[in-house]
A and B are shown apart, each in its own frame.
Chain A
Amino acid sequence: MLLIMAVLAATAQTTLQFTSPMPKDARSMGMGGAFRVFSQGYSSFFGNPAGFAGMSSLTLMDMSTWAYLAPTSENLGRVQSIVSGSASDSDILSWAGDWLAKNNGLGAGMSMGAGWVGAKGISLGVNLVTDELAYGNSLLGAKLLSTTQANGVLGLAYPIHLGPVWLKIGVDGRVFYRVQSKPTTGWGFNTILTDFLNNTFSASSLTLLGGYGFAADAGIILGLGPVMLGFTARDFGMEFKVGDFTAQDVIDKQFSALPLSGTTAAALTPSYTAGLGIRLSENGMFEPSVYAEVDNPISLVSSTDILSDVLNSLHAGAQLRLLRFVTVRGGLNKGWYSLGAGIDLAFVEIDAAIFTEELGLYAGDKGRSGISVQAAIRFGR
């Protein structure tokens, strides 16, 4: 691990640094972005691999979609106008500018996948996450950032019981293929939107980077009864190469357009999360749980204002599962409210959430609101 970190540090100046796209799934977002460290079952493919050491499950399909758009009554009316075709081009341009300025971004994403989490902690999954986000201080200066990553994951977790104390340790290895808009130039969102409205849009103007790599994730959860402490580290990987292509190449040649041997060096930026959780009456008729997680806890050690830094990286959430089929959730995502609910009918699960996430350096500085809907066909939890 130290060797990998040393390599990453040495190459940081010349290597493009990428962050793995995470699904904005309704379960996590409804709880303020918490539930990464204490993820269970399929969620552990994106959260803490130690979560594989729990109940077994078979997920035939798990699909999440999310939109970065504040679900206010005004915005819902605007969306209705666009869908019904009653909005003019100038309305759409005006609203796009307004959304960018007031919501600190506009876009949507999707994740889909399947996975098996075995009773002995062995897990196998495939998934694809895509996130398309326009961001900027004005429509004129806004960029569209496109990120898509497909992952094949093999995980292993092991539970240890020491009297009243229990421990879960997990690791996973991933092979991934990543496609991303060029971070240095970006795509001009205003140009794309205007060309699209004028029917002059050309996919050949969208240049992309693509390449494959390997990454590893690891995590640990320590528990005493219902109280849990956890830590997860994700996206440790060696440098990989990405090559250029355009969106038009994909339309013309499909998968064969994706480069396998690029020349530009890239690497994933590792991320760390620590958390504290309480889960009562697991699988009972009345199952409450509370989670608090902080991003990048290592940086807090050298903090000069620990209270501010903790609050500005805190995801706190709670959920209440009633009668084993209805769940309500609420949370604070770096101080922003979030709300969610879900229903679990035999092997079909449907969840939804309203969320706001902080993009700025201070609580309440740059909130980006959105909605998320998740549907799954799953046997087990």
Chain B
Amino acid sequence: MGLEEEVFMRSKYVAYAALLAIIVLFFTGCDALIANVFKDANLGQPSADKIKELDTAALIQQAGITSGAVSDTFIQTVIGDEATKKQVLETLQGTVDTGTPAEAQAAQALILDIKLADIGADTVMDNLNAAVGQLATLANSNEELKPQDIINALLPAELANNPANLASFIDNLAELGTDVDTLAQKIDANNGTVADGLDIATIAQTAALVKFVKIVEPAIGYSTGEAIAKAVEDLENDPNADVTKYFAAQPDIASLADNTTLQTLFDAAGLSALLDKMKSGS
């Protein structure tokens, strides 16, 4: 074999090896490849200082709230700086108070997203997306859908395993009831028409979670968050534990169907049939 031919053969083996390495990567998954080098180097990211100076129109545009996909990066930048968060919430609230119904809806929806992320509920909403199929299947089956089923499916470990954090989270979530009510009022004021591009179905889903927390009646001496946190803690130790002592009454899930805020949001999303199902208990 001549030198030239030998070099050719070696090169051919290198080519085959490179191809083989990539094929192996294809068939074994590529978890490590799903990363963004610019983000890791903090390049091309939004600036808290610049966001602070934006008016509502620019905030809505840069957050992507009316494009159907709100920017997590933008929201995290806002909540990452206390002064920026305060200023942005004030700017948006001004539009909620004085803007047209369509502008006010977008501003209120952005306020809700910022507050959700600020209390760590964005993780819970991701869990809800993953669990919604299981919950729907349970709801459609003859099995009883228990509040504990829902809570267990939604809570990340750092909340489920830390009663104090969980109690605080639940109480903060309940406080968002005013924000979802305001959004529903703005939609009603616009004759039920939703501002272009708002993902109203996801907002309705969020509102249902907030309103679910609101109908939980804690026993005397507990906040809603404390009652749920205690119940979750007991159930983790013993799935058959009696947790009724933490609650004044069993949550009336069917009553959610009569909630005017949820009716507005689910109607606007074209999902009123879901509320009807909830009311009929099916």
Contacts and interface: CB of A to CB of B under 8 A. Distances in A.
B131 interface: yes
Contacts of A322: 11, 14-15, 18
B220 interface: no
Contacts of B37: 332, 335-337
Interface-centre pick from A88, A305, A354, A371 (highest chain B CB count, 10 A): A354
A326 B17 CA distance: 10
B78 interface: no
B136 A323 contact: no
B28 A365 contact: no
Interface stretch (B69-77, B164-172, B247-255): B69-77
B44 A312 contact: yes
Interface stretch (B84-92, B185-193, B199-207, B231-239): B199-207
Interface string B16-45: 101100110110111101111111100111
B202 A141 contact: yes
Interface stretch (B122-130, B144-152, B154-162, B174-182): B122-130
A54 interface: no
Contacts of A75: 29
B269 interface: yes
Interface in A89-116: 89-98, 100-102, 104
Size category of the B interface is 35 or more
A307 interface: yes
Nearest to B133: A93
Contact of B22 (A328, A332, A363): A328
Interface string A337-381: 111110100000000101010111111111101010000000000
B70 A137 contact: yes
Nearest to A143: B68
A102 B138 CA distance: 23
A311 B137 CA distance: 44
A135 interface: yes
A325 B8 CA distance: 13
Size category of the A interface is 35 or more
A360 B30 contact: no
B38 A311 contact: yes
Nearest to B31: A72
Contacts, number: 204
B34 A70 contact: yes
A339 B36 CA distance: 13
A254 interface: no
B270 interface: yes
B198 to A, nearest CB: 10
A60 interface: no
Interface in A295-316: 305, 307-308, 311-312
A75 B34 CA distance: 13
A140 B69 contact: no
A71 to B, nearest CB: 5
Nearest to B269: A141
A341 B71 contact: no
B71 A366 contact: yes
B100 interface: no
Given A97-B129, A328-B22, A354-B33, A363 B202 contact: no
B43 A307 contact: yes
Interface string B263-282: 00000011100000000000
A335 B72 contact: no
A376 to B, nearest CB: 17
Nearest 9 interchain pairs by C-beta: A93-B133, A364-B39, A141-B201, A335-B38, A364-B36, A73-B29, A363-B38, A311-B44, A90-B137
Interface of A: 70-76, 88-98, 100-102, 104, 135-143, 188, 194, 285-286, 305, 307-308, 311-312, 322-323, 325-326, 328, 332, 334-341, 343, 352, 354, 356, 358-367, 369, 371
21 contacts: A70-B34, A91-B133, A96-B133, A101-B130, A137-B202, A139-B133, A141-B199, A141-B202, A141-B203, A141-B269, A311-B38, A323-B12, A325-B15, A336-B34, A337-B35, A337-B37, A341-B18, A356-B34, A363-B44, A365-B39, A366-B71
Given A90-B136, A90-B137, A93-B134, 20 more contacts: A75-B29, A90-B134, A100-B129, A135-B68, A136-B68, A138-B125, A138-B128, A138-B129, A140-B132, A140-B201, A141-B201, A305-B50, A323-B8, A328-B19, A328-B22, A337-B37, A338-B33, A360-B71, A366-B69, A367-B36
Interface of B: 8, 11-12, 14-16, 18-19, 22-23, 25-26, 28-31, 33-40, 43-46, 50, 62, 64, 68-74, 125-126, 128-134, 136-138, 199-205, 269-271
